[in-house]
Amino acid sequence: MKMKLPMLGLGGSVATPRKGITAEVVIVSNEEELEALGEGARGKIVLFNNPMPPYHPVEGSGYGETVRFRLHGARLASEHGAVGVLVRSVTANSQRTPHTGVMIYGKARRKIPAAAVTIEDAEMIARLIRRGERVKVRLFMEAHREGKVPSANVVAELRGSTLPDEIVVISGHLDSWDVGQGAHDDATGCIMAIESLRLLREAGLRPRRTIRVVLWTNEENGLAGGKSYAKEHADELAQHVAAIESDSGGFDPRGFNLELEDSARHGRAMLQLQELLNLLELEESLKVKSGHSGSDIRPMKAAGVPLLGLKVEGSRYFDYHHTHADTVDKVDPGELNRCVALMAFTAYVLADMPGRLGENW
Ligand SMILES: [Zn+2]
């Protein structure tokens, strides 16, 4: 029996030869099972079938612990002599939608092609193999690199009235994978930043400090936008009062994750931000937590800039993330509006309050 498998090449993968690769599939759920296979992976296509756990209201998504197979699966499989690698899409829910995303060869001696298959097909292949069937896959990929080209962050400002050199950055990333529209990843983040600035202007509100919108380029494929901003603006970073990024989707807001190098400042900033959030009367109370802020603003961390990641209700994000399904119809305008309100409000207060976030005043 023959059937077609919906798939997506992973970002950074090499192509297959023109005729494709046809090989038997061996299935493993983690690194230990691959080790145990020993020579059993030689000449085969390795399928990493590691399920991402369902979303947990407190623990969040299991993306962090599951994405490693997408990132490093090709290197691991190639060390065992595999000729290609398939990765179960990193999501807990699927409508037979494959999920792409970046992969890394790192120190791999051989680069083998890497693609994602759907949960449904990973499970089907697993069932067939358990039943003792031999499963062969023909993998065909035309992936290629076109080299580096110039690209730019998009920057706009509402200049501060009395402290224009002090800056609050609000941001999202402008690029997305080549499937779907990148609606939740990360058009909604860009819209939050743009709309925040527009609303403040429309309301005639001009804070003491400058609010700077930055739409980052190249988040998904190397972070060049975030890294070059931190480098080009290095002498200005001491004047960055805060940098806010939204890169978790445009769902109902839940608050912020804070990252700040200095622990005393971190503690004070946590309390100040929570007080600020308590002023907003949304249906769900907003919380400040310590944790990952955003990958584009992170290069500013070493300079001591307080980094805020806008966090949202996360149960649906990875249903769409990096797939053809990440389209604008998945964005609820009410939820997005509440995110805009949170970003605009926070940016305004941080830009206008007498002292700086995290300082004693
Ligand atoms: Zn993103």
pLDDT of residue 281 exceeding 90, the answer is no
Which is nearest to 242 in space by CA: 263, 252, 256, 227? 256
Query: For residue 97, what are its two tokens?
Result: 């939608």
Q: How confident is the model at residue 283 (pLDDT cuts 50, 70, 90)?
A: confident
With a CB cutoff of 8 Å and minimum separation 6, the contacts of 332 are 250, 251
Query: For residue 6, what are its two tokens?
Result: 């919906």
Distance of CA 71 to the CA centre of its chain: 13
Ligand 1 centroid vs 359 CA: distance in angstroms? 30
CA distance 240 to 303: 9
pLDDT in tens, 187-237: 999 999 999 999 999 999 999 999 999 999 999 999 999 999 999 999 999
CA distance 31 to 329: 38
By annotation, the residues acting in catalysis are 219
Ligand 1 centroid vs 102 CA: distance in angstroms? 11
- Contact criterion met (CB below 8 Å) for 251 and 259: no
Ligand 1 centroid vs 175 CA: distance in angstroms? 8
Which is nearest to 246 in space by CA: 314, 330, 164? 314
- Contact criterion met (CB below 8 Å) for 150 and 124: no
**What element of type H or E holds 341?**
helix 333-352
Angle (nearest 5°) at CA 260 between 219 and 236? 70
CA distance 289 to 272: 12
Ligand 1 centroid vs 120 CA: distance in angstroms? 25
Question: How much is the mean pLDDT over the chain?
Answer: 96
CA distance 118 to 319: 12
Ligand 1 centroid vs 240 CA: distance in angstroms? 23
Instruction: List the beta bridge partners of residue 243.
Output: 169, 307
Ligand 1 centroid vs 162 CA: distance in angstroms? 34
- Contact criterion met (CB below 8 Å) for 242 and 308: yes
Q: How confident is the model at residue 57 (pLDDT cuts 50, 70, 90)?
A: confident
Looking at residue 361, its pLDDT comes to 74
pLDDT of residue 263 exceeding 90, the answer is yes
Instruction: List the beta bridge partners of residue 102.
Output: 11
Looking at residue 54, its pLDDT comes to 94
Ligand 1 centroid vs 8 CA: distance in angstroms? 18
Ligand 1 centroid vs 324 CA: distance in angstroms? 15
Looking at residue 282, its pLDDT comes to 77
Query: For residue 48, what are its two tokens?
Result: 């990493």
CA distance 126 to 135: 9
CA distances from 63 to 2, 13, 206, 318 (A): 32, 20, 39, 8
